Structure 1
Amino acid sequence: MADKLEGKIAAVTGAASGIGLATTKALLAEGATVVMVDRDATALSALTEQLGPSVIGQVTDLLNPASCDAMIPEILQKVDHIDILHCNAGSYIGGDLTETDPASIDRMMSLNVNVVMKNVHAVIPHMTDRGTGDIWVTSSVAGHFPVGWEPVYAASKWAVTCFVQTTRRQLRPHGIRMGQVSPGPVSTALLSDWPEENLRKAKESGSIIEAEEVADALIFALTRKRTVTIRDMIVLPTNFDM
């Protein structure tokens, strides 16, 4: 499958770590150029130097409305076009709702839902003019099942699932494919907020996957013929049971 994405240009949010970084590396391995979007300028600088000339850094604070609005225009000042947008940036809140403060709820819902909508909204005119494009969103298995220990996070991912599956239908006539990848627990920094007992049990039972396995699923979807749309992939650790 080497070089199947040769000549393609992708933009990945939350690209400096976790699933975003794994996806960046997987896209590069398939021949794509990748614009790595993250708020961590220091990390982006180090990664662009490390990963080579096919990587371009884009410093964007997605929770800053002006910075978020400027993301797509600033990317298009650095590259000719965007073939692939991977809306991956997100945050996590676990535990009982009563233990969560309103400011954290606002921040997470904004990043997990509103920012995704705004990023997709911003790229649609560009992709529509070109008559082609792929938009992928990192969701979660929590967007398909009412996970009792993470009601705020699960609610955000249910919202994302609805957004992807409704917007996908609007974009199809314009040659734009849209889908989501919905992992189970992934070994990233987001799990640091998991209830300690749940995290311990998951690690002991092998119920956590690596970010690279999520990236592999995305590459599979992106390399299908244009006549095929993979609209949703649930990627679970084999030993994980909801």
Structure 2
Amino acid sequence: MAQSLAGKIAVITGAASGIGLATTEKLLEDGATVVMVDWNEKALTELTAKLGEKAIPQVTNLLDPESCAAMVPEILKKVDHIDILYCNAGIYIGGDLTETTPEAIDRMLTLNVNAVMKNVHAVIPHMSERKTGDIIVTCSIAGHFPTYWEPVYAGSKWAINCFVQTMRRQMIPYGVRVAQVSPGPVISALLADWPEENLRKAKESGSLIEASEVADAVEYMLTRNRNVTIRDMLVLPTNFDRV
């Protein structure tokens, strides 16, 4: 039986676009309040004005250590508790390892791995004290398969896959569910870094999914009875045959 999200308070990173925005819209439809976390203040201002009073802006640059550390304390000044933390923000690097730079690698690992761990670290005392909560992280099919055409991105998602599944076990005694959703290629700004030929073929073959379809998966995970954890949900385009 599905559990209602009405009255829940969710925090979503990378909420101004893509999967984050689609999930924000989905949870708002379900009656939740959503704290939209993003670095893009202008986009957040416009979106929260359009989405209504249950959409709360939180300007945070997860690549900046001080801004990242301040995120949860600042949010808890705006809302009295956090029921759901959805760590969704991320960036993509495709191509051979030699085609990228050390600076780009650092940036990706900071956002895709370090910021996720820091955000979870920051919210755990709050959720543990309340003996309830949900933490979901956007992983990727690349976290389950050695995708040789994107080793830096895949490496970051393999790290997150391990982190989520170890934290899931740690948090069981505290009533906090920890899980991940692992999409295949999603139509979003991240695909701007795909090799043009790969993107063209994927579009032509129908090997992409919409961000709203990932949001549907997240909604399903969050609405299960508390005695059920969907530890990972792989959401793939039907025609995606690379793995």
**TM-score category (smaller protein):** over 0.9
Q: Is 1:48–1:57's contact at 8 Å kept on the other side of the alignment? A: yes
Shift of the 102–202 alpha-carbon distance from structure 1 to 2, 3 Å rule, reads same
Q: Is 1:3–1:30's contact at 8 Å kept on the other side of the alignment? A: no
Look up the match of 1:85.
85
Q: Is 2:15–2:24's contact at 8 Å kept on the other side of the alignment? A: yes
Deviation (angstroms), 1:4 = 1.7
Q: What whole-Å deviation, never above 9, does each CA across 1:114-168 have from its counterpart, x for those lacking one?
A: 0000000000000001000000000100000000110000000000000000011
Q: Which letter maps to 2:186? A: V
Which residues of structure 2 form unaligned runs of 5+? none
Look up the match of 2:66.
66
Q: Which region of structure 1 is more displaced relative to structure 2, 1-10 or 116-125? A: 1-10
Look up the match of 2:10.
10
Look up the match of 1:184.
184
Matches within 5 A, 1:16-165: 16-165=16-165
Q: Which letter maps to 1:147? A: T
Look up the match of 1:238.
238
Q: What whole-Å deviation, never above 9, does each CA across 1:93-115 have from its counterpart, x for those lacking one?
A: 00010011100000001100000
Counterpart CA distance in 2 for 1:199 and 1:150 is 14
Counterpart CA distance in 2 for 1:25 and 1:115 is 23
Counterpart CA distance in 2 for 1:109 and 1:54 is 32
Report the number of matched residues.
242
Q: Is 2:3–2:225's contact at 8 Å kept on the other side of the alignment? A: no
Q: TM-score, normalised by structure 2?
A: 0.98
Look up the match of 1:205.
205
Say what the alpha-carbon RMSD is for the aligned residues. Answer: 1.1
Deviation (angstroms), 1:27 = 0.4
Q: What whole-Å deviation, never above 9, does each CA across 1:28-76 have from its counterpart, x for those lacking one?
A: 0111000000000000000000000111000000000000000000000
The 3-state SS of whatever aligns with 2:27 is helix
Counterpart CA distance in 1 for 2:166 and 2:12 is 22
Dislocated runs of 4+, deviation >2 Å: none
Q: TM-score, normalised by structure 1?
A: 0.99
Shift of the 229–3 alpha-carbon distance from structure 1 to 2, 3 Å rule, reads closer
Counterpart CA distance in 2 for 1:137 and 1:195 is 26
Look up the match of 1:216.
216
Counterpart CA distance in 1 for 2:189 and 2:2 is 30
Counterpart CA distance in 1 for 2:91 and 2:82 is 25
Identity %: 73
The 3-state SS of whatever aligns with 1:137 is strand
Q: Is 2:2–2:224's contact at 8 Å kept on the other side of the alignment? A: no
Q: What whole-Å deviation, never above 9, does each CA across 1:161-200 have from its counterpart, x for those lacking one?
A: 0000001100011000010000000000000000111111
The 3-state SS of whatever aligns with 1:62 is coil
Shift of the 230–2 alpha-carbon distance from structure 1 to 2, 3 Å rule, reads closer
Deviation (angstroms), 1:2 = 9.8
Q: Which letter maps to 1:201? A: K
Deviation (angstroms), 1:3 = 8.7
